[in-house]
Structure 1
Amino acid sequence: MMIIICPGIHEPEITDSFISKCLSQTTVKTMVFPGQGALALSAPHILQFLGDRLKNQRNSPVVFISFSAGVVGAIVAAWNWQILGGQVKAFIAIDGWGVPLWGNFPIHRLSHDYFTHWSSLLLGSGHNNFYAEPAVDHLSLWRSPQTVQGWWVDSDCQGSPQQMRLTATEFLHVLVKRYESK
Structure 2
Amino acid sequence: MTLYLCPGVHPPSLSERLCQVLGLTQVLILPTSTHPPYSPLHVFDFARQQGLDELCFLAFSAGVVGAMGAAWMWQQQGGRVKAIIALDGWGVPHLGEVPLHRLSHDLRTDQQSGWLGVGGDRFYADPPVAHLELWAYPERARGLWLAESGLRQYTDAATFMRAMLRRYGELD
Bin for the TM-score computed over the shorter chain: over 0.9
- Per the alignment, residue 146 of structure 2 pairs with 153
- Per the alignment, residue 91 of structure 2 pairs with 98
TM-score (norm 1): 0.88
Give yes or no for contact 2:35–2:42 (8 Å, CA) kept in 1: no
User: Residues 41-80 of structure 1: matches in 2 within 5 Å?
Assistant: 41-54=38-51, 57-58=52-53, 61-80=54-73
TM-score (norm 2): 0.93
- Per the alignment, residue 6 of structure 1 pairs with 6
Gaps (5+ residues) in structure 1? Answer: none
Gaps (5+ residues) in structure 2? Answer: none
Aligned equivalents of 1:118, 1:70: Cα separation in 2? 20
- Per the alignment, residue 39 of structure 1 pairs with 36
Instruction: Tell whether 2:16 aligns with 1:23.
Output: no
Please provide the CA RMSD for this pair: 1.6
Number of residue pairs the alignment of both structures matches: 170
Identity between Structure 1 and Structure 2 (%): 39
User: Residues 127-138 of structure 1: matches in 2 within 5 Å?
Assistant: 127-138=120-131
DSSP-derived class of the 1:9 partner: coil
- Per the alignment, residue 143 of structure 1 pairs with 136
DSSP-derived class of the 2:166 partner: helix
Give yes or no for contact 1:17–1:143 (8 Å, CA) kept in 2: yes
DSSP-derived class of the 1:45 partner: helix
How far residue 22 of structure 1 moved from its aligned partner, in angstroms, is: 1.5
Give yes or no for contact 1:66–1:94 (8 Å, CA) kept in 2: yes
Quick one: which amino acid aligns to residue 42 of structure 1? S
Give yes or no for contact 1:9–1:38 (8 Å, CA) kept in 2: no
DSSP-derived class of the 2:45 partner: helix
Give yes or no for contact 2:9–2:32 (8 Å, CA) kept in 1: no
Structure with greater proportional helix content: 1
- Per the alignment, residue 88 of structure 1 pairs with 81
Give yes or no for contact 1:10–1:37 (8 Å, CA) kept in 2: no
Kindly name which structure, 1 or 2, has the bigger radius of gyration based on alpha carbons: 1
